[in-house]
């Protein structure tokens, strides 16, 4: 199975080529798209304040050595500036990159010690290897954490476990990745009480935070059930090794393995608590992973040198994928340096139109689908787009809750697929899955979710949600 997976991955375009192509496109856009900017009140855009900034878009700028643009002026991004955006992107995303590397090292210790395989045998033996019980149960838990608490990056720690489980059942890494990712994205689509988008988006359109949760919960259930059905269908289509299920037993689960797994579970619980209660960021989480790795190394029985080798080996497996996170961030850096990000936002809002309530809502949704490729951050996109979408909703008769819903749907669906999302790339790194392999797997569900979102928006408009 591992040889087949390696051969399959080799047939796909290396994701660094995909991202470099997107980066080149971003550079070219700085020559063909007008530069402009909105006035801002803190992080928030002031509606109606967009102004075009004059710039010289001649191709002679391609070879300019200038990498910075003075405030209030604009120039296209040169080749040198584009190359410089890569280290800038790496620096901007350094916290996430180092955190992903540390998680990879920690799971290197877990895997080398045998605790992962032993724990999975016990888990699968408990449900008699019935993946049609196990997978939906896991996805419900992951989806609930996402839609109610806003958990996303915290699940990076879970993905290697799900991948190992899929491998034990004779399935590919991408199935293990899907068990977590599909559930998380289904949760973010509706964000019943997800604080990350709602605490920014709802007050900007005059709504009480977390209001309107009832209908969003109904939509969450629909999205999650469709996601579960899709994942089970792909598992059935890919097939799995039923004989591997019969072989599961609990004999290999030693006291040392039990201790390591309990420490890992306690660590996950602490991450969830402290991330929400004390607003932990990447530095705090990375420090926690280092401490957790030391504890696991001490319990593993590998010895100091053996544990260190296992840690470095785990980091090596995801080193390349971690690099991609920084390259993806370079796209946003290039657009910002060319002063065209606000211009793209302005163009998208013009696209929405004000003639029909339904078409305005769908236009908002479509604009967010496109904008998310440029601003994959949920909270960042809310701060930029909601001050603009709010007045458009008022002009077209779209209710504020529906406006928020259009934003949530557009942001969540694109984040399932966009190669510029740091979180998605971190997921892919943890699962050792290429972006092209993931895109091929998920594109059908992505299209189904778009169709569902449009129908849900039509219902929300009809009932004046």
Kindly give, in sequence order, each residue whose CB lies less than 8 Å from that of residue 447, ignoring residues fewer than 6 positions away: none
Q: Is the pLDDT of residue 225 over 90?
A: yes
Q: Is the pLDDT of residue 226 over 80?
A: yes
pLDDT in tens, 310-363: 999 888 877 776 777 777 778 878 888 888 878 877 777 777 765 678 888 998
Residue 382: closest CA among 210, 200, 211, 208? 200
CA 425 to chain centre: 7
Rounded mean pLDDT, 415-441:
87
Of 18-27, 192-201, 334-343, 382-391, the range with the lowest mean pLDDT is 382-391
Q: Are 411 and 196 in contact (CB under 8 A)?
A: no
Residue 165: closest CA among 227, 218, 244, 234? 244
Question: Which two three-digit tokens encode residue 251?
Answer: 């004999």
Q: Are 53 and 73 in contact (CB under 8 A)?
A: yes
Domain ranges in the chain?
Answer: 102-311
**Rounded percentage of the chain residues whose pLDDT exceeds 70:** 86
pLDDT in tens, 293-304: 999 999 988 989
Q: Is the pLDDT of residue 429 over 50?
A: yes
Residue whose tokens read 């895997």: 111
pTM: 0.72
- The pLDDT of residue 129 is 61
- The pLDDT of residue 67 is 59
Rounded mean pLDDT, 107-135:
77
Q: How far apart are CA 146 and CA 323, in angstroms?
A: 26
Rounded mean pLDDT, 369-373:
78
Rounded mean pLDDT, 375-394:
72
pLDDT in tens, 340-352: 878 877 777 777 7
Buried-state track 56-74, b at ≥16 Cβ within 10 A, e below 16? ebeeebbeeeeeebeeeeb
**Crossing angle (nearest 10°) for helices 319-337 and 422-431:** 170
Q: Is the pLDDT of residue 45 over 70?
A: no
Q: Is the pLDDT of residue 450 over 90?
A: yes
Kindly give, in sequence order, each residue whose CB lies less than 8 Å from that of residue 75, ignoring residues fewer than 6 positions away: 55, 56, 61, 64, 66, 69, 338
């Amino acid at each position: 199975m591992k040889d087949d997976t390696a051969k399959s991955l080799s047939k796909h375009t290396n994701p660094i080529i995909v991202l470099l192509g997107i980066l080149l496109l971003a550079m070219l856009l700085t020559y063909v798209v007008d530069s402009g900017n909105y006035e801002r009140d803190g992080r928030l855009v002031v509606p109606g304040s967009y102004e075009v900034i004059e710039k010289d878009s001649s191709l002679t700028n391609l070879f300019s050595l200038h990498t910075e643009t003075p405030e209030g002026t604009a120039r296209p991004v040169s080749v040198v500036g584009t190359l410089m955006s890569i280290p800038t992107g790496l620096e901007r995303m350094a916290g996430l990159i180092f955190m992903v590397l540390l998680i990879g090292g920690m799971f290197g210790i877990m895997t080398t010690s045998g605790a992962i395989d032993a724990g999975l045998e016990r888990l699968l033996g408990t449900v008699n290897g019935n993946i049609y019980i196990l997978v939906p149960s896991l996805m419900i838990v992951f989806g609930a954490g996402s839609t109610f608490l806003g958990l996303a990056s915290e699940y990076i720690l879970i993905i290697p476990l799900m991948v190992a489980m899929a491998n034990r059942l004779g399935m590919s890494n991408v199935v293990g990745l899907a068990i977590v990712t599909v559930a998380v994205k289904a949760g973010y689509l509706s964000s019943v009480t997800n604080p990350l988008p709602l605490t920014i988006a709802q007050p900007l359109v005059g709504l009480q935070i977390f209001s309107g949760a009832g209908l969003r919960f109904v939509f969450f259930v629909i999205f999650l059930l469709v996601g579960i059905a899709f994942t089970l269908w792909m598992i059935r289509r890919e097939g799995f090794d039923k004989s591997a299920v019969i072989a599961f037993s609990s004999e290999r689960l030693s006291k040392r393995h039990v201790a390591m797994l309990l420490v890992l579970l306690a660590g996950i619980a602490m991450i969830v608590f402290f991330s929400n209660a004390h607003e932990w960021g990447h530095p705090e989480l990375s420090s926690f992973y280092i401490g957790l790795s030391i504890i696991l190394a001490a319990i593993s029985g590998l010895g100091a040198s053996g544990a260190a080798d296992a840690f470095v080996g785990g980091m090596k497996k995801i080193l390349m994928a971690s690099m991609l996170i920084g390259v993806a961030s370079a796209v946003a850096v290039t657009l910002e340096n060319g002063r065209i990000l606000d211009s793209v936002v302005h163009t998208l809002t013009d696209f929405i139109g004000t003639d029909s309530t339904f078409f305005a809502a769908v236009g908002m949704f479509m604009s967010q689908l496109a904008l998310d490729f440029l601003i994959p951050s949920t909270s960042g996109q809310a701060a930029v787009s909601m001050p603009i979408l709010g007045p458009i909703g008022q002009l077209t008769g779209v209710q504020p809750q529906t406006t928020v819903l259009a934003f949530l749907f557009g942001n969540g669906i694109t984040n399932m697929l966009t190669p510029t999302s740091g979180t998605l790339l971190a997921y892919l790194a943890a699962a050792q899955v290429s972006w092209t392999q993931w895109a091929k797997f998920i594109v059908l569900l992505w299209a189904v979710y778009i169709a569902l979102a449009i129908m849900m928006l039509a219902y929300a408009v009809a009932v004046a949600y």
